[in-house]
Amino acid sequence: MRLKDKVALITGAGNGIGRETALLFAQEGAAVVVADVVDAAGEKTAADIKAAGGQAVYVHADVSKTADSENMVQVAEKTFGKLNVLFNNAGIMHGDDDNAVTTEEAIWDLTMAINLKGVFFGCKYGIPALKRAGGGSIINTASFVALLGAATPQIAYTASKGGVLAMTRELAVIHARENIRVNALCPGPLRTELLMNFLNTEEKKQRRLVHVPMGRFGEAKEIAYAALYLASDESSYVTGTEFLVDGGITAAYVTPE
């Protein structure tokens, strides 16, 4: 088991990447702290883990709030005694997020609060816990749009994920000699509820897919396996990376036939 005796905290674990990762981490031996703002979804993930014989606890956490972020780390340590893996995964892609001219300030602020400040808060309170455990792994969900402009405008989301990537690099450098690794996981377009709700017409879906050499959307579980590698000791010399799992989209120059 690749995560035996490890404790992992995953935000946004009620759906999509977070849920698939929580289930996979538990299968690989980790005790999982399931954090989400949607209680029913988060509780279901925790219940499913326990029903399969794993260890899990659910905690309500709005990652844009400092008290919630501090509390989820405290729950991890109080329940399981330590924290070894922090997966800052929670994020939004608002339907009204568009270009710089039309996107409202409120949409920008909301996106930054969850996608960027939420990662900062996770690290602010998670890093001391990782130090107490003797080190560990931090995984921050960024995106391929942290490296490329999106064909469908989503200015706040793109800017927030660029910030996550930049923050990840700095954290990796600062904490490298404390046995804390920090990596940005950069998914390509996925068949998740988050993206499918944003690409809500067939035209929008095809506009995104035409750039993906593999010609399909990725699945959340494919990202979960990448997170598993970054969480495990197998990636012990990996830090500060932009870990791309994107179907080749960042490698493409011309549209494939």
Q: Which residues are catalytic?
A: 157
Contact 27, 2 (CB under 8 A): no
Q: Other C-beta atoms within 10 Å of 40: how many?
A: 8
Q: Does an H or E element contain 131, and which? A: helix 118-132
CA distance readout (Å), 191 to 45, 195, 245: 19, 7, 13
**Distance (Å, rounded) from C-alpha 85 to C-alpha 55?**
15
Alpha-carbon distances, residue 89 vs 95, 148, 154 (angstroms): 19, 20, 18
Amino acid at site 126: G
Give Cβ neighbours of residue 67 (< 8 Å, ≥ 6 apart): none
For residues 257 and 254, give the distance between their C-alpha atoms in angstroms, rounded to a whole number.
9
- Is residue 168 within 8 Å of 176, Cβ to Cβ? no
